[in-house]
Structure 1
Amino acid sequence: MNAELKRLHSPDVYDLENYQPENLEMFGFLLQAMVGPEGKEGEESFDIEVCTPRWLEETYGIDEVVICRHHLIVRGYNYQRIVGAIKDFLRDCSG
């Protein structure tokens, strides 16, 4: 069985497709990817922090060691590239 991205949601960003961060170099927000079996009903929510390298640095500090599990690190906000990256990741997921 292959995984499929059903939809994206963010409690922090009302309109993901048209979102423009106030600071293009430093932003972070929670993105929830609803993923389920390809071509079938049902989904599970996976939380991802979408953020820039500068946001990571400001949030965790320059001297911290951060294991970036559940983070999607971007250089700028581009909705289509984020969707594409998640779909590419899911192509390798099966169960």
Structure 2
Amino acid sequence: MKSIDLIEHETYAYWPDDVEDFCVAAEAMIGPDGEDGADIFSFEVCTPKWFYKNRLNSAAFARHVVFVSAYDEKAVQNLVVDTVANITGGTWSEIAEKLSRYFRWEYEDYRS
């Protein structure tokens, strides 16, 4: 784990107008330990209230979304760090592919 940032905001200096009704884009820079490089893994952080009002018609998928009951930057950071720490694989590609189940990987669906 290299960093976690809210897109278009300075790190976690963001605060929603309504802590129980918001959605914000986020990204984590994640790469192999001991290497400088990292890949971008993006996701949204939102409340069920926001999701219900803005995305739920009759049915909806919620891939790459972290749900929180109220804004809690530390809980989001801990969830991301714990998720990354529990992913294992023999190569970076295997690890990144598993991470893409939770976060939108910048190379997801890339074909060489």
Q: Residue deviations 1:48-87, cap 9 Å, x none?
A: 0100001110111352x22221000001111111110001
Letter of the 1:70 partner, please give it: H
Give the TM-score normalised by structure 1: 0.82
| Root-mean-square deviation (Å) | 1.5
Unmatched 5+ stretches in structure 1: none
* Higher RCO, Cα 8 Å, sep 6+: 1
Measure, in 1, the Cα distance between the counterparts of 2:53 and 2:86: 32
SS in structure 2 at match of 1:40: coil
The total of aligned residue pairs comes to 89
Correspondences of 1:70-89 after superposition (within 5 Å): 70-89=64-83
Runs (4+) of structure 1 exceeding 3 A deviation are none
Unmatched 5+ stretches in structure 2: 90-112
Q: Residue deviations 1:4-55, cap 9 Å, x none?
A: x110222233341x32210111100110111111232210001101000011
Equivalent in 48, 52, 56 of residue 43 of structure 2: 48
The structure that is strand-richer by fraction is 1
Letter of the 1:14 partner, please give it: E
Give the TM-score normalised by structure 2: 0.71
Q: Report percent identity of matched pairs.
A: 27
SS in structure 2 at match of 1:85: helix
